[in-house]
Chains A and B, each alone.
Chain A
């Protein structure tokens, strides 16, 4: 009998994924034996998993390694993004317990699904093969469809899950079709090999199949990062999904989408850089402008932050358009800061909200500043950072994104970005006006600050203010992590 040579397996590059998968499956099993009033312990166990995965990440910094026939890689780029994902999931888990207890949801399946979504995001960031990237995106998407519809008793949550599922499946089709066409044109799915093939056979760059493949992939990734005109799902899904999951979705999967999009565009399609830069220019302007304009007259704060999240994807696309070291390092820095400020803001929304997703309007924040000055101050910090005011991380991030665009010669793009940023101040300040300048309508006596939520808010405040004051350390890391 003929023996089959088993290829050498090196798990080191995907160690965090392996650990999180094991934890997710253990949580599924343990879940059966934990009575429903003690489900919070599952959350602590998943936090342990995240911390262990985080430790395995740190060792790989600066030591690039690829495995499984170059289908996954461990480089600084993927490690930086994986750090963002771990942080995002950790903070979302911290605010989940209180919210889902209030909404009387069964938490048992939540934590395994969240960890599994993280595995998907990590595969997207570390995949160097179109197949791996696609599978990562699918793993993430399937978990997200369920998480968006997790609050089964709430009609809006059901709507969010179904809408996200239908539109997401449709956009996945675009992505996969683009990958298939690229494979057809180049005969390989490895991102490095695609670039090699194009540099050896220059004619393929003019092949319509190759160009359409790139465009369709851009559509698929743009959907995931919620860039206009592929943003239509965002407001409904973000409004309907359970608040902690909205926090997670707005920060984690967006960063994962950027990671995969950047790796494919920068490594596989350097030959078409002029084309995709033009494309991204249009996407960036549309995304910023549409997001900010519609956010101006939103009353529901989750919906407002959904449109603001579209606008923030636009700012990051400015750095992507630039395509230089400053711009791409700016994206990495911005995605990290955005996770801190956005999840921080959502933590406050979880606290202020009432059962059944009530009390989520901007008007409901009237007098919050006098009743809970410390929490209102934290919210103000997050909103200032989202608006891009110094001395917050949001300001530094935007500064790098726009200065990258100017250095690459996209002066007009930077000007449009700054104008958009100025317009966005209106709707962030509106919340603050209600918090500090209106008389309280309610006593906010239902609010209960649990230690977990408090820790999440403290992490977020530190994460927003510290890089805002001394950005050098994080910027340094981001610059070491760029793909160029």
Chain B
């Protein structure tokens, strides 16, 4: 079942991303991107990386996309004066993709398949943390500094003169 789910979810991810690129309306594009992120999260779960799956949902589908939406609202690109509930013809692909993703996730839950498909065991939070702060300790430090300096740079470039 895992391999079948993998191919279905991959198709969902690719289709969702393709819609996100071709969609003219920025908000619609973001909704498709979120759909593809959800499918990707389930793929990560299938591959034995539940922690990464959670991150994908919380950080990418959640935080970053909400940030995108806020920016679009702030920039007023979405024509809020013409806001209305979109007709089913506009959003059925997103609905279909989302349903497939949800069904796959439910199928996984119901069948209680251990989150394993690749050889090896599922990597939980503890193993993840040990690798992150042990093996990749220097990388974590570098990333934290990079965030600091990206912030400094963004402040410098965006500051009022």
Contact = CB atoms under 8 A, between A and B. Distances in A.
Nearest to A17: B142
Contact of B138 (A132, A138, A146): A132
Contacts, number: 65
Given A21-B145, A138-B146, A139-B142, A7 B137 contact: yes
A22 to B, nearest CB: 10
Contact of B146 (A71, A131, A142, A161): A142
B130 interface: yes
Interface stretch (B14-22, B34-42, B77-85, B152-160): B152-160
Contacts of B148: 25
Interface stretch (A54-62, A109-117, A444-452): A109-117
Given A4-B130, A135-B143, A135-B146, A142 B153 contact: yes
29 contacts: A4-B130, A6-B134, A7-B137, A21-B145, A25-B148, A68-B138, A69-B134, A69-B135, A71-B138, A72-B138, A106-B156, A109-B153, A112-B149, A113-B149, A113-B153, A116-B149, A119-B145, A131-B139, A135-B143, A138-B146, A139-B145, A139-B146, A142-B146, A143-B149, A143-B153, A146-B153, A146-B157, A152-B157, A153-B161
Nearest to A131: B139
Interface string B123-150: 0000000100011111100110110111
A71 B132 CA distance: 13
A434 B145 CA distance: 47
Q: Which of B143, B149, B150 has the most CB of A within 10 A?
A: B149
Interface of A: 4-7, 9, 14, 21, 24-25, 28, 68-69, 71-72, 106, 109, 112-113, 116, 119, 123, 131-132, 135-136, 138-139, 142-143, 145-146, 149-150, 152-153, 161
A119 B134 CA distance: 21
Would you call the interface of chain A mostly helix, strand, loop, or mixed? helix
B138 A14 contact: yes
Given A28-B152, A113-B152, A149-B157, A7 B146 contact: no
Given A112-B152, A116-B145, A123-B142, 9 more contacts: A7-B134, A14-B138, A69-B135, A135-B142, A138-B146, A139-B142, A142-B146, A142-B149, A143-B153
A149 B154 CA distance: 11
Given A123-B142, A139-B145, A152-B157, A71 B152 contact: no
Would you call the interface of chain B mostly helix, strand, loop, or mixed? helix
Interface of B: 130, 134-139, 142-143, 145-146, 148-150, 152-153, 156-157, 161
Contacts of A6: 134
Given A109-B153, A116-B149, A142-B153, A71 B139 contact: yes
A228 B130 CA distance: 42
A61 to B, nearest CB: 22
The 8 closest A-B pairs by CB, nearest first: A146-B153, A68-B138, A109-B156, A135-B142, A116-B149, A69-B135, A7-B134, A139-B146
